[in-house]
Amino acid sequence: MTLDDLIAHCLAKPGAEETYPWGDAELVCKVAGKAFAFIGLDAGTIGLKCPNDAEELRDRYPDDVKASAYIGRYGWNSVRANGGVPVDELRELVDRSYEAVVSKLPKAKRP
């Protein structure tokens, strides 16, 4: 999956916005001000919230899925976009990360 495809998939989510809080090297996709995807434009990685299966994903794809620095203990994984994770599963991981963040939003802020 190319980074352009990945970014397009993230930004197609209802209420998704594109931000660059740390400069041009990392895109953060947010919904209602809360991050659901950290996309490393130089590294070709995406940080996703995987609250229920973070460790299982790391075990299944040890070369392509790692605990995210600093926030890995909260269920965030860093996934290589063009690695061994199948495209359909990568899209599903984006969808689940988005849904996990939206589910924690107050009802008035949900898209």
- At 78 the pLDDT is 94
Instruction: Find the CATH number of the domain harbouring 61.
Output: 3.90.1150.30
- At 65 the pLDDT is 94
- At 71 the pLDDT is 87
Which amino acid is located at 93 in the chain?
L
- Is pLDDT of 18 > 90? yes
- pTM for this structure? 0.92
- To the nearest 10 degrees (0 to 180), the angle between helices 87-104 and 3-11 is 30
**pLDDT tens sequence across 47-103:** 999 878 888 889 999 999 999 988 888 889 999 998 899 999 999 999 999 999 999
Number of domains in the chain: 1
Burial of residue 100 (CB within 10 Å: 0-12, 13-18, 19+) is middle
- Domain containing 55 equals 3-109
- At 11 the pLDDT is 97
**pLDDT tens sequence across 28-51:** 999 999 999 999 998 889 999 987
User: Would you give the end-to-end CA distance of the chain in angstroms?
Assistant: 26
- Is pLDDT of 23 > 90? no
